[in-house]
Structure 1
Amino acid sequence: MQIKTITKGNILIAQPVLNDHTFNRSVVLITDHNELGSVGFILNKPINHSVNTFVSELESDFSVYEGGPVETQNLYYLHKRPDLILNSEPISKGLYWSGEYEDVKNAINNGLIDESEIRFYLGYSGWGENQLQSEIEDNAWIAVEDDVDIFQDWDNNLWKLQMKKLGGEHLIWLNTPADPSMN
């Protein structure tokens, strides 16, 4: 269901007219939203590197996803194990972000957490005060309340699935190329 007012836990679906390489056909989970701005992570863009490529002390080949264009030198994580990762920030429905890095390292290296419970992102998506609301009003994004399992192996199929759920005029975009000039 489309919404006009953003809260954390909402999903953003990039409109096909959003001509931005980073956000083209992106689905973004909003992890924080307040009067100062918004933070989220792109859910459907794996970068084909494992987490131990970036942090050698993590004994894991868990996938890493492009989180967004902000602070791309930093690694972030979403998870569903606040019992193992202290000081986690709740997002919605058993989903958390951040928390103590040492807890993450210990949980991974001791086999206490698996890839279906944590997801890593390089960088994040961020918007300043009123910026995201303005982009939604300009039809760059469709905001929805949805239960997306962020721990599935999503790629652009997630974007297509979300467009299909929206139905109507959005169905025309399902079979068009990401770059319409290639049509």
Structure 2
Amino acid sequence: MTEVTSLTGRLLVASPVLSDPNFDRAVVLLLDHDEEGSLGVVLNRPTPVGVSDILEPWAALAGEPGVVFQGGPVSLDAALGVAVVPSGGERADPDSTPDALSGSGDGPMGWRRVHGAIGLVDLEAPPELLAAELGSLRIFAGYAGWGAGQLEDELAEGAWYVVESEPGDVSSPDPEALWRSVLRRQRSELAMVATYPDDASLN
């Protein structure tokens, strides 16, 4: 099997040719990517459900809009917390994975680095453990998952653009505009894709 270059921490931005309605104009933060598969959360699918309605103890730490986001079509009954810890990124273990959430001296207890200052939150932990450290928190219901080689096939078909993430992407106060804003900041022809009309027949 050919070795997979990990895209953990990068963004998948849906290209206009991607036809799956689950991912129309989606911006996905990859939380884990290796030869066994990939897992991420869609950053620009806010729901009408308030964080206070399902995880009241965390509501005060969730950024605006203070709602739960649909992280993807898999396990919609499961919640994932993604948070930026501005001081935590440099001390972290680069080999950490999303299922290893216990604190281990590489950031605050209950937070595990994914990439840079972005990490996963153990939602079973007391929120006050993290309150002083968190720059922002977003709660996701469900996630996006790909089996071994599946994402690579979609990339080869041109379904996704792979770009660098920025900590502010996780907590964008205007998530519906994230697809265009992420594309617009690229220093390449991708910036032009941001002008693609919502109705392809208008192009």
Q: Equivalent of 1:131, from 106, 131, 150?
A: 150
CA deviations over 1:83-109 (Å, ceiling 9, x no partner): 5542x32111111113251323x458x
**Mean CA deviation greater in 22-31 or 145-154:** 145-154
The whole-number CA distance in structure 1 between the counterparts of 2:141 and 2:115 is 21
* RMSD across aligned positions (CA): 2.8
CA deviations over 1:16-63 (Å, ceiling 9, x no partner): 111122211111111111221111111112112211222355554732
Identity over the aligned pairs, expressed in percent? 26
Counterpart AA for 1:80:
V
Counterpart AA for 1:90:
R
SS, match of residue 161 in structure 1 = helix
The corresponding residue for 2:39 is 39
Q: TM-score, normalised by structure 1?
A: 0.80
The corresponding residue for 2:173 is 153
The corresponding residue for 1:53 is 53
**In 2, are the aligned partners of 1:84 and 1:103 still within 8 Å (CA)?**
no
Aligned positions, number: 174
- Determine if the alignment matches structure 1 residue 163 to structure 2 residue 145: no
The whole-number CA distance in structure 2 between the counterparts of 1:78 and 1:156 is 18
The whole-number CA distance in structure 2 between the counterparts of 1:48 and 1:115 is 24
Deviation of the 1:7 alpha carbon: 2.1
Which consecutive unaligned segments of at least 5 residues does structure 1 have?
Answer: none
Which consecutive unaligned segments of at least 5 residues does structure 2 have?
Answer: 89-106
The whole-number CA distance in structure 2 between the counterparts of 1:172 and 1:152 is 20
Q: TM-score, normalised by structure 2?
A: 0.73
The whole-number CA distance in structure 2 between the counterparts of 1:22 and 1:56 is 28
In structure 2, do the counterparts of structure 1 residues 50 and 121 end up closer, same or farther at CA, with 3 Å as the change threshold? Answer: same
**In 2, are the aligned partners of 1:45 and 1:154 still within 8 Å (CA)?**
no
In structure 2, do the counterparts of structure 1 residues 172 and 102 end up closer, same or farther at CA, with 3 Å as the change threshold? Answer: closer
In structure 2, do the counterparts of structure 1 residues 151 and 170 end up closer, same or farther at CA, with 3 Å as the change threshold? Answer: closer
**In 2, are the aligned partners of 1:85 and 1:100 still within 8 Å (CA)?**
no
CA deviations over 1:3-25 (Å, ceiling 9, x no partner): x9442111110001111222111
**In 1, are the aligned partners of 2:51 and 2:58 still within 8 Å (CA)?**
yes
The whole-number CA distance in structure 2 between the counterparts of 1:161 and 1:58 is 28
